[in-house]
Structure 1
Amino acid sequence: MLHLTEKNFTVETKRGPLPNVVMFYAVWCGKCAMMKPLVEEIEKKYRKKIRFCEVDIDESPLLTADYEADIVPTFVFFQNGQFLGSMQGIIDENVFERRLQKIFRNC
């Protein structure tokens, strides 16, 4: 996953033709540690269709506030730089993939 910060977030979420999934996480978060391997597996399946990124909430508090990522993990979805929606917490792999397919219908 590409690591994003307040400095590169806007440029990277608008860059290229692929939609983006941004995982807001914290290194101290047990739920994030549980979700990260699942997200990395999904990333492998969608490598040419969706780009996966991560934001450390402690490192980027302004982004965390902007996207209301007060519950971690929070997943935020972008296409062509446009915010499409978000989901929070621990999510089953099948549910996560179905939501991705629904949000990014054209992928």
Structure 2
Amino acid sequence: MSLIQLDGCGLEELIYDIGEGCLIFFYKNDCSACKEMIPMLEELQPKYKGQFGFYYVNIDENKEVVNCFKLDQIPEVLFFKDGEYQGKLCGEFNQGQVVEKIQDNLMWV
């Protein structure tokens, strides 16, 4: 996977200390819907290089994150900018929905 993996500590640093505009993809190893979403996110990533970060968290390896971020459903993507939560997509979603959320975040001032 070309997305950058985060653990709980790296996740908090990225969101709250660095404040980068980004999406964080939460997935489980045995989730078939998650596996379908990965290529779509990897395809989008180069289009936003230097503007918007693409990260992932494996919740099988970071169970504490589920409670911390109150995840509803897997797969789930949370969007952040300047340390602020900007929205989410959960369950199965399409490329257009992800692009729309990214564009909203890039335009947010």
- TM-score of the superposed pair, with normalisation by structure 1: 0.87
Structure 1 stretches of at least 4 aligned residues deviating more than 6 Å after TM superposition:
none
Q: How much has 1:106 moved relative to structure 2?
A: 4.3
Counterpart residue number, 1:80? 82
Greater shift in the superposed pair: 43-52 or 59-68:
59-68
Counterpart residue number, 1:11? 13
2:81–2:105 contact (8 Å) kept in structure 1: no
Counterpart residue number, 2:106? 104
Letter in 2 for 1:47: K
* Partner deviation per Cα, 1:11-48 (whole Å, 9 max, x = no partner): 12245463010000011110000000000111111112
Looking at structure 1, the residues matched to 15 and 66 of structure 2 have their Cα atoms a distance apart, in angstroms, of: 15
Q: How much has 1:70 moved relative to structure 2?
A: 3.9
Ranges in structure 2 where 5+ consecutive residues have no aligned partner: none
Greater shift in the superposed pair: 2-11 or 50-59:
2-11
Looking at structure 2, the residues matched to 48 and 8 of structure 1 have their Cα atoms a distance apart, in angstroms, of: 19
CA RMSD after TM alignment? 1.9
2:16–2:83 contact (8 Å) kept in structure 1: yes
Ranges in structure 1 where 5+ consecutive residues have no aligned partner: none
Identity of aligned residues (%): 22
Looking at structure 2, the residues matched to 94 and 44 of structure 1 have their Cα atoms a distance apart, in angstroms, of: 16
Counterpart residue number, 1:66? 68
Letter in 2 for 1:8: G
Normalized per residue, the structure richer in helix is 2
How many residues are matched? 107
